[in-house]
């Protein structure tokens, strides 16, 4: 399958028509915090609101159409993660969904039970389990990060996972450093002691095609707005666990999978948009083959392009005096996301200085505050390459950072 060129992909994003004061097009390097949206996704959401808007499970046509469109979105996200439609739950965001799931799991835990997390994780994959330490008296074990290469210390992880471990919460990729962790290997370690595994795939899903069957985990979360969709969270939970977890819910609400995880009336237009985002990614590989096959072809090519862009970013910035790069080097398991500091400037100062050049970048701790603490910096400047990023934009940002560093 031939994947669409960067030029043809860019033509589908109205945001890329925006210009800076000097006339240059805006280069969006803020994708790790949220990507831009193609026309097909926005149009699917508008079509729903204009022509099908209703609440669910009633006897009139627009309600039935809403049910069908939500089912279509579940099927699309199931293909995206290689799960089943009845294992896909939607919510406001991954953080909210995980607090909900953790509370349900925690009702069966107490003193003596343990959850293992890592310093490399976004705090959305830490705070829900820490809350259980307060509410249920469990112990949360924190596995250290190796500062020298931005990776989890697997020897320490192996020591932390014991017969007391009820769950291992592990990020597939760091949103701050781009580090990719072998979550399948972590799952095997957890299963050896009978523990559950939750995988935070929010930063991983835009760059590597998720396969929950290959990972072997019990639950996995991602966010549609990180892969060209609207602000909706997605939670895959293995059916056996989904049907037994004691989640808080209203008595009249459905108790079947996956509705039992979806508290209250959902963001129907956002759910439709999440499904449309998956279809957008699949469409980049044409129309032949199954959706999963087309997604695989798309991600294989995007991974190749991302590696090339990351290498150019790393090589260019590494040569700039005063710039310090963080995280794994190119050629190792990682995403095309690169964080750095500039001597004598805060991360916010750098981000502001790049705006006149039409370069939009993220700065701060990205809710991965433990990483920032371990690195001993006040914050990082983050560059993320997305499906619409070009080599010309990479050259622009390297040149602009060099001017700031002077």
Assigned CATH class of 43-282: alpha beta
Q: How confident is the model at residue 169 (pLDDT cuts 50, 70, 90)?
A: very high
Closest CA to 309 of 225, 405, 209, 397: 397
Closest CA to 326 of 148, 174, 170: 148
| Angle, vertex CA 274, rays to CA 35 and CA 310, nearest 5 | 30
Distances (CA, A) of 404 to 101, 132, 315, 389, 393: 44, 45, 17, 22, 17
Question: 380-384 and 362-364: which strand pairing?
Answer: antiparallel
When pLDDT is averaged across residues 184-213 and rounded to a whole number, the result is 98
> Phi first, then psi: what are they for 351, rounded to 5°?
-60, -45
When pLDDT is averaged across residues 119-146 and rounded to a whole number, the result is 97
Give the pLDDT confidence score for residue 6 in this predicted structure.
98
Q: How confident is the model at residue 111 (pLDDT cuts 50, 70, 90)?
A: very high
When pLDDT is averaged across residues 295-314 and rounded to a whole number, the result is 98
Distances (CA, A) of 372 to 29, 260, 364, 367: 20, 37, 9, 9
Whole-model pTM: value is 0.97
Given a cut of 90, whether residue 214 has pLDDT beyond it is yes
Question: Residues of 66-84 as b/e, b for ≥16 C-beta within 10 angstroms?
Answer: bbebbebbbbbbbbbbbbb
Q: How confident is the model at residue 1 (pLDDT cuts 50, 70, 90)?
A: confident
> Are residues 330 and 314 in contact, defined by beta-carbon separation less than 8 angstroms?
yes
Given a cut of 90, whether residue 56 has pLDDT beyond it is yes
The region, left, alpha or beta by phi > 0 then psi within -120 to 50, assigned to residue 331 is left
Q: How confident is the model at residue 289 (pLDDT cuts 50, 70, 90)?
A: very high
When pLDDT is averaged across residues 40-65 and rounded to a whole number, the result is 98
Give the pLDDT confidence score for residue 89 in this predicted structure.
98
The 10s digit of each residue's pLDDT in 352-378 is 999 999 999 999 999 999 999 999 999
- Does the 6-37+291-405 domain belong in CATH 3.40.309.10? no
Residues of each domain in the chain carrying CATH 3.90.1150.10: 6-37+291-405
> How many other CB atoms sit within 10 Å of the CB of residue 343?
9
When pLDDT is averaged across residues 44-70 and rounded to a whole number, the result is 98
The 10s digit of each residue's pLDDT in 219-254 is 999 999 999 999 999 999 999 999 999 999 999 999
The 10s digit of each residue's pLDDT in 295-304 is 999 999 999 9
């Amino acid at each position: 399958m031939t994947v669409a060129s960067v030029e043809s992909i860019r033509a589908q994003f109205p945001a890329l028509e925006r210009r800076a004061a000097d006339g240059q097009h805006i280069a969006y390097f803020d994708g790790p915090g949220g990507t831009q949206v193609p026309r097909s996704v926005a149009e699917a959401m508008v079509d729903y609101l204009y022509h099908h808007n209703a609440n669910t499970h009633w006897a009139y046509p627009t309600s039935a159409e809403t049910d069908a469109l939500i089912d279509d979105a579940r099927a699309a996200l199931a293909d995206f993660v290689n799960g089943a439609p009845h294992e896909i739950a939607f919510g406001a965001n991954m953080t909210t969904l995980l607090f909900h799931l953790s509370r349900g799991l925690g009702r069966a835990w107490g003193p003596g039970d343990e959850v293992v997390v890592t310093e490399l994780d976004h705090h959305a994959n830490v705070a829900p389990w820490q809350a259980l330490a307060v509410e249920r008296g469990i112990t949360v074990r924190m596995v250290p990060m190796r500062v020298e290469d931005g990776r989890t210390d697997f020897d320490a992880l192996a020591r932390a996972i014991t017969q007391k471990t009820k769950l291992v919460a592990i990020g597939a990729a760091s949103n701050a450093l781009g580090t990719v962790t072998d979550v399948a290997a972590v799952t095997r370690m957890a299963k050896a002691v009978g523990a559950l595994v939750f995988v935070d795939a929010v930063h991983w899903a835009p760059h590597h095609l998720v396969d929950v069957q290959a990972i072997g985990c019990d639950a996995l979360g991602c966010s549609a707005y990180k892969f060209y969709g609207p602000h909706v969270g997605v939670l895959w939970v293995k059916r056996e666990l989904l049907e037994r977890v004691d989640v808080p819910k209203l008595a009249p609400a459905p108790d079947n999978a996956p509705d039992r995880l979806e508290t209250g009336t959902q963001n129907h237009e956002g759910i439709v948009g999440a499904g449309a985002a998956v279809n957008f990614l699949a469409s980049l590989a044409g129309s032949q083959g199954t959706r999963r096959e087309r997604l695989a072809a798309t991600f294989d090519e995007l991974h190749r392009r991302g590696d090339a862009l990351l290498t150019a970013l790393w090589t260019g910035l590494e040569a700039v005096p005063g710039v310090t790069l963080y995280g794994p080097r190119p050629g190792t398991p990682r995403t095309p996301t690169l964080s750095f500091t500039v001597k004598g400037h805060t991360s916010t100062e750098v981000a502001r200085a790049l705006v006149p050049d039409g370069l939009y970048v993220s700065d701060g701790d990205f809710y991965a505050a433990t990483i920032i603490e371990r690195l001993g910096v006040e914050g990082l400047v983050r560059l993320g390459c997305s499906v619409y990023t070009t080599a010309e934009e990479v050259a622009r940002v390297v040149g602009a950072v060099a001017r700031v560093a002077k």
